[in-house]
Amino acid sequence: MFGGYVIVAEDLHMHFRRGLLRKQVHALNGLSLEIADGDFFALVGQNGAGKSTAMYCFLGLLKPTSGKVQVMGKTPGLGSPHYEGVAYLPEEPHYHLYLTVEEATRYYSSLYGKRVPDKTINDILERLGLAQFKSLRLAKCSKGMKQKVGIAQCLIHETRLLFLDEPTRGLDPLAVREFRETLREIHQRGATIVMNTHVLSEIEMLANRVAIIADGKVVAQDELRNLLTLDRELYNVTFEADGVIPDYLTSVERVGNVVKGSIPKDRLYDFMDFTRISALPVHECSLKKISLEDSFFKIIKGEGSHV
């Protein structure tokens, strides 16, 4: 490890030239971050923020224009034996589609230069719900099944470091849930996971650390629990009402006679008096929880900082 960290990036810059006019694009602009051994680390940002470019630099697929990156204490390089314990699952894996699920699992696992026993292959396919489809060609598999073929390699070879690029995009809810449980298992077995995703709810359920990227640099990096705080100025309330509701109630949602909304702290006693005098049932009254989505937009707008 490099100072106790699996990945250390220091002031990474990545410039491209695109189009007929060869216009220069600055994909990374001084990106710096540290990922510790055992982290489930999420890279969050809008389209074009630089998340995938940063991941390609960590993988050695791109060489940064300037700056320094270390992965497990070494500079990334294609074909290096240093990457035997590293796995990468892209958003759209490009497999040999003429292979069956079993053939693909066996073939890709053999690229590590180690023979994998038949029992291990069969056990992994069974655990991932692929055993009944092992004779199905990849060309006829759903995206979720193809993602499982990729994740099978991580389970077979005890991956130490796993990179995931938008892993749940396009998956149905059941496939997302199964995939999430598999990732939890891999993480619990000691792997460090770096995930690039737009699905903030997935991050809340899986990650322990988050880096928010904007304009090619990290604008916030913190423990997830520090980004999921309580807003001491607002209360969430749920109550029943058929008629007029107070005008200080905001973010109002109504389903039948059930009302949900938020009230400022200094109007809490007014709200309690209103419901008591009107004899209205109150189902919830609690400090508003700040979601990762709330923190993300607040930080992107420059209203907060976690570094």
Work out the percent of the chain whose per-residue pLDDT is above 70.
96
Q: What is the pLDDT of residue 230?
A: 56
Q: What is the pLDDT of residue 79?
A: 75
**pLDDT confidence tier of residue 45, bands split at 50, 70 and 90:** confident
Among 145-149, 174-178, 274-278, 295-299, where is mean pLDDT lowest? 295-299
Give the phi and the psi of residue 36 in degrees, each rounded to 5: -85, 155
Tokens of 6: 């699996």
Q: What is the pLDDT of residue 55?
A: 94
Residue 236 neighbours by CB under 8 Å, 6+ apart: 260, 261, 262, 284, 285, 286, 287, 288, 289
Q: What is the pLDDT of residue 289?
A: 75
Q: Which of 19-23, 116-120, 136-140, 148-152 has the highest mean pLDDT?
A: 136-140
Q: What is the pLDDT of residue 225?
A: 83
pTM score above 0.75: yes
pLDDT greater than 80 at residue 82: no
- The domains of the chain are located at 39-50+77-227, 230-289
Q: Does 154 or 121 have the greater pLDDT score?
A: 121
**pLDDT confidence tier of residue 182, bands split at 50, 70 and 90:** confident
Residue 169 neighbours by CB under 8 Å, 6+ apart: 91, 197, 198, 199
Q: Which of 47, 9, 15, 63 is nearest to 196 (CA)?
A: 47
CATH superfamily of 39-50+77-227: P-loop containing nucleotide triphosphate hydrolases (3.40.50.300)
Q: What is the pLDDT of residue 94?
A: 85
- What value does the mean pLDDT of the chain take? 87
Q: What is the residue whose two structure tokens read 């051994």?
A: 37
Q: What is the pLDDT of residue 306?
A: 54
| Helices marked H in the chain | 51-59, 101-110, 118-127, 143-156, 173-188, 200-206, 224-227, 268-277, 292-300
Is 172 in contact with 147 (CB distance < 8 Å)?
no
pLDDT greater than 60 at residue 1: no
pLDDT greater than 90 at residue 31: yes
Of 3.50.50.60, 3.30.70.980, 2.20.130.10, 3.40.640.10, the CATH number of 230-289 is 3.30.70.980
Q: Does 303 or 53 have the greater pLDDT score?
A: 53
Q: What is the pLDDT of residue 231?
A: 63
pLDDT greater than 70 at residue 83: yes
Provide the 10 A C-beta neighbour count for residue 107: 13
Using alpha carbons only, how large is the chain's radius of gyration in Å?
A: 24
Q: Tell me whether domains 39-50+77-227 and 230-289 share a fold.
A: no
Provide the 10 A C-beta neighbour count for residue 262: 16
| pLDDT one-digit tens code per residue, 269-295 | 999 999 999 999 999 998 887 777 777
